[in-house]
Amino acid sequence: MLRQKLLGCQKSLLLFLCLSLSAISLLPVSRSLAETSSVPLPSDAPLELDLLTKPNGTVITANTISPQGLTTPSLWLAKANSEDKLLDNWIAYPASVTAPGRVDAIVNQQVWSILDYLERYSFINRLGSVARKDVYNLRVFNYQQELLASYTCNFQTSPTSCRIQINSLNRLGLQQSSK
């Protein structure tokens, strides 16, 4: 009798383990928290608007023209093709030993404010993809130096993992962040 109970318990345990493993195998594969958090946060360096009128030798703006050839990041074509009214200017900082290159894009606040979330996301994704190809992260500001959005990548991973973050003003005028 004891032997039959023991065999019954073993069968029940085996059935439980099989069902558990089957259920786990049916779960969708998703990125772990460690993978998701490997994308760095946007740079917290301040926007340097004075570089738009007085650029130094290391930064590139929408007004920088290179006589030697194409300058990276190549945002001129993106601006000319579809972002002319929204994308007003940009400052591109070269990569350093500790950080990848960074583009601070400045948008026309009036145009930005009439875009809905999906239009903003599409803009950030298009411009961020162009910047990513040249190994730059992207931050989007208005002329009041408010961070509106970012497109940040971990260039150490393969494939490169990126995150878009859009800050929006709610009805009370307070900043709120979404990912």
Q: Summarize pLDDT for 17-34 with one digit per residue, the tens.
A: 444 544 444 444 334 444
Which is higher by pLDDT, 2 or 111?
A: 111
pLDDT band at 139 (very low <50, low <70, confident <90, very high): very high
Per-residue pLDDT of 49-103, as tens digits, reads 888 888 777 787 776 665 454 455 667 666 665 556 888 888 888 888 888 899 9
Q: What is the pTM of this model?
A: 0.69
pLDDT band at 132 (very low <50, low <70, confident <90, very high): very high
Looking up tokens 């931050």 gives 139
H helix or E strand, kind and range, residue 167: strand 161-169
Say what the pLDDT of residue 150 is: 96
Spatial separation of the C-alpha atoms in residues 109 and 114, rounded to whole Å: 9
Say what the pLDDT of residue 137 is: 94
Are the C-beta atoms of 101 and 137 separated by less than 8 Å? Answer: yes
